[in-house]
Amino acid sequence: MATDNKPAVSIKDMIKKDRILNSGHRMCAGCAAPVVIKLMGMALRGPTIVCNNTGCLEVATTIYPYTAWNLPWIHVAFENAAAVASGVIEATKVMHKKGRFDYEHIDVVALGGDGASFDIGFGAISGAMERGHDMVYMCYDNGAYQNTGIQRSGATFPGQETTTSWAGSVIPGKLERKKPLAEIIAAHKIPYVATAEPSNYRDFITKFRKALEVEGPAFVHAFSPCPRGWRSATGESIALSKLAVETGLHPLYEVINGEEWIMSSASKNLKELKPVDEYFKTQGQFKHLFKPEWEDFRKRIQEQVNHDWELLKKKCGVD
Amino acid sequence: MSVSKDKIKIEGLTGDAAIAHALRQADLDVLSAYPITPQTIIVEDYQKFAADGEVNAAVIPVESEHSAMSACVGASAVGARVATASASAGLALMWEILYCAASMRMPIVFTVANRALSAPINIHNDHSDGMGMRDSGFIQLYCQSSQEAYDTTLMAFKLAEHHDVLLPVMVGIDGFIVSHNVERVEMLPDDAAKKFVGVRTPVQPLDPKNPITMGPLALTDYYFEFKEQQDRAMQQVIKVYKEVEAEFEKLTGRKYGIFETYKTNDADIIFLAMSSMGGTAKVVADVLREKGEKVGVIRLKMFRPFPTKELAKAIGNAKAVAVFEKAMSFGAATNPLALEVKTALYGTKSRPIIANFVVGLGGRDVPPMTFVEGFEKTKEYLKKGEAPLYETLGVRK
Amino acid sequence: MSEKYNEIPMAGNIIEPGNSLKYKTGGWRAERPIHTDETCLWIKNGTCGRCWIYCPDNAVVLTEKNGKYAYAYNYDYCKGCGICANECPTDSIKMEKE
């Protein structure tokens, strides 16, 4: 690995930076997760170890005997990457002191999908953040358990149809709201929390680099469209990610020490939110919402998004 | 080179405290654990050593046992010397990662104060937790005393980290009976212990200079080969254990073997038990021998890998084996220890009668009279020429 | 896939980083991207690069030599998702049926 000390945000620098994830991985066509990982690679500053929860990314990038990873990488289970990363970090520090590990500091990144992060591995993340290990935990959020075949998670939007939140004649898909994970992690008062997504790639890279640079734990919530699960066009993934920001479904912000809330320019510069309908129309998983009987339900989702948006603006001091 | 007597430190220690001292002397890099009775003293004492600067290890006070074992795997993957401790429900919560630790060939030392599993919730000793993890790929060593717990914990690192093995080791002591009982323990000087354990040399660690992928997806085409590797590593354990123990014996004069035999040479009936029950069994055997009964005892230390051939040889021409065990395998033909013993003896010419007594569940006392009762029953079965598959003793029925 | 248990590294460890390059995913493609140099900003002045940034499969190959910019696809890996065509600000990429 080159140890280029600047994050690569211009195309000319990007193409020179070592790639951390090779071609030949078996993520679905149009999946945004490899793009998220590519952008993470652009932010790296030196030797890095990756701890990956079970999920699409883990499975499809390391089908034996092939690995797409060019970094030291470990997967143990679905829910424990934050705990595994805790062990990696503390071991490297002690072993360095004892002369058995060459690097005084190593960046450790834990990765998990929304199932691993919002649900099953939530406790492990909370514990790792509370203990203050110097790691970046990044959740790539594709809105459901896509790896096991599109089941609802704590990250699934209300109204979203999954194979465990079907849109039927009496229920319009998932009824519950999305867990505000980034806010919950920010409440741990850790040095840095950010939401990000690939369409605003400079913003993404800059945030990920900040996450690496703070001393102590950092958390990045990256939105990651999934054409297979969402029933969207494979070419639209990055555009959908952008639309999620523009509709307020995935607003971009940073939280410093759990106290200072900063709205990122892509969100801050929006004159007003686009209607969530525009987002819903692009995906098969929301098409039932346009039936007349779910008109009110759809409106309530819009109201909730508007409400959350105003709250966020207030926290960020944005008029 | 044996250590001169004046350098040996003698203290009254509980089993937990003895283990904590062994962990202190083993020069760990990482200890990651979560409190659970009756193991907690191990972690508390170790944390105290850390607070006083007596150890150069990172202690990770995780939020669950699942994370405890997970952090151990992460640390071990980098090449660190790693230990954790647990029992009962905590061990059960670790269960998923026990398999990962073994399959990923992480030489973690896992000290356990064996305790009953819920429900009802119960803090006392039996072997349900250890038996529950018996197929996880961990080596299992059950100890009878604080001294043995100390000695075995030190040996466990050398065994686990040996390149022919590279498997995690569970060191078990009976909850409360050994974990909380103060006994005389001889401790090696710190430098001698440290020298004996040595420094871990990892085989394929996570290292930025040599970036490998650990824990990939392996399907129908490769998974089985990794299991073959794992099984073959397990087959090396007895050999390596004997080497490690021989070295330890030179240093301390103490050895335990993969099992301990007591008056078995001419025995007609052999009591077979693990951990603290071994002591009771010996006392009862002595009394019965005074009455002219030819009784011997085998106290099994190594349950995984199960020393099948060695045990069959030790049982030799005994007419019956009375297996006393503190675990139940609900719905099984018989119970974990007896299943193994029966399998070990099936191929022998003598094929002794095997009686299986489930005793002591949830910490129910196993007094000498329970062994006497088992003995009487076994004699009866010998006369009849057959024994029931198993029965419970010491329960109101 | 014919290796015996003792001919492969321990525990599933993959010791050759990034060896997924040996696994070609180009066969997944139903449509292929066709690029035109004329309007491409990368070719023109070495800017933009959105197709490269957003390609999930590193199938866009941008090169610069002596101030000259070149563009190519690595069809060994391109899965034909069409993100490059969709994200191109100058419509320099078209998807065609395989």
pLDDT at A134: 98
Supply B175's token pair: 């909850």
Mean pLDDT estimate for chain A: 97
Q: Which residues of A touch B215 (CB under 8 A)?
A: 62, 74-76
Range of the domain at C53: 49-98
Kindly tell me if the per-residue pLDDT of A3 is higher than 60. Answer: no
ipTM of the complex, rounded to two decimals: 0.97
Residue C12 lies in a domain: no
How does DSSP assign A146-178, residue by residue?
TTTTSB--TTPPTT--BTTB-B-SS-BS--SPP
Interface check B208 vs C, CB under 8 A = no
Helix axes B237-252, B223-235, angle to 10 degrees: 40
pLDDT at B75: 98
Residues B194-238 pLDDT 10s: 999 999 999 999 999 999 999 999 999 999 999 999 999 999 999
Instruction: Give dist(CA A297, CA B239) in Å, integer.
Output: 69
Residue C5 lies in a domain: no
Could you give all domains of chain A from N- to C-terminal order, each with its CATH number?
11-316 (3.40.50.970)
Contact across the interface for A11 and C46, Cβ inside 8 Å? yes
**pLDDT above 90 as % of chain A:** 98
Residue C36 lies in a domain: no
Classified by CATH at the fold level, domain B5-252 comes out as Rossmann fold (3.40.50)
Contact across the interface for B221 and C13, Cβ inside 8 Å? no
* Cis status, amide bond into B119, omega within 30 of 0: yes
Rounded to the nearest 5°, which phi and psi values hold at B305? -65, 150
pLDDT at B1: 64
Instruction: Give dist(CA B156, CA B171) in Å, integer.
Output: 8
Residues A108-131 pLDDT 10s: 999 999 999 999 999 999 999 999
Q: Domain count for chain C, please give it.
A: 1
Could you tell me if A222 and A198 are in contact, meaning their C-beta atoms sit under 8 angstroms apart? Answer: yes
Which three-class secondary structure state does DSSP give residue A264? coil
Give the minimum alpha-carbon distance from A78 to chain C in angstroms, rounded to a whole number.
17
Please give the single-letter amino acid code of residue B68. Answer: A
How does DSSP assign B53-78, residue by residue?
T----EEE--SSHHHHHHHHHHHHHH
How many alpha carbons lie under 13 Å from residue C9 in its C-beta half-sphere? 18
Scanning A77-106 for CB atoms below 8 A from B yields 77, 79-80, 82-88, 90-95, 97-98, 100-103, 106
Instruction: State pTM to two decimals.
Output: 0.98
Name the residue of chain A whose CA is nearest to C82's CA. A235
Instruction: Give dist(CA C24, CA A19) in Å, integer.
Output: 18
Kindly tell me if the per-residue pLDDT of A1 is higher than 50. Answer: no
Kindly tell me if the per-residue pLDDT of A4 is higher than 60. Answer: no
**pLDDT above 70 as % of chain B:** 100
Candidates C81, C87, C88: best to mutate against A (most CBs of A within 10 A) is C81
Q: Do the domains spanning B5-252 and B261-392 agree at the CATH topology level?
A: yes
Contact across the interface for B203 and C8, Cβ inside 8 Å? no
Give the minimum alpha-carbon distance from C46 to chain B in angstroms, rounded to a whole number.
32
Contact across the interface for B225 and C13, Cβ inside 8 Å? no
Confidence band, pLDDT 50/70/90 cuts, at residue A319: confident
- CATH code, residues B261-392: 3.40.50.920
Instruction: Give dist(CA A48, CA B325) in Å, integer.
Output: 49
Residues A255-299 pLDDT 10s: 999 999 999 999 999 999 999 999 999 999 999 999 999 999 999
Torsion over CA: A187, A193, A198, A202 (sign): positive
Contact across the interface for C54 and A235, Cβ inside 8 Å? no
Confidence band, pLDDT 50/70/90 cuts, at residue A5: confident
Exposed/middle/buried for residue B267 (C-beta within 10 Å: 0-12, 13-18, 19+): buried
Residues B86-111 pLDDT 10s: 999 999 999 999 999 999 999 999 99
Q: Which residues of C touch A23 (CB under 8 A)?
A: 20-21, 25, 57-59, 74, 76-77
Residue C10 lies in a domain: no
Q: Which residues of A touch C79 (CB under 8 A)?
A: 28-30
Residue C71 lies in a domain: yes
Interface check B280 vs A, CB under 8 A = no
Domain ranges of chain B: 5-252, 261-392
Instruction: Select from A51, A58, A123 the Cβ nearest to the Cβ of B63.
Output: A123
How many alpha carbons lie under 13 Å from residue C55 in its C-beta half-sphere? 29
User: What is the domain-level CATH number for residue C81?
Assistant: 3.30.70
Residue C73 lies in a domain: yes
Q: Which residues of A touch B107 (CB under 8 A)?
A: none
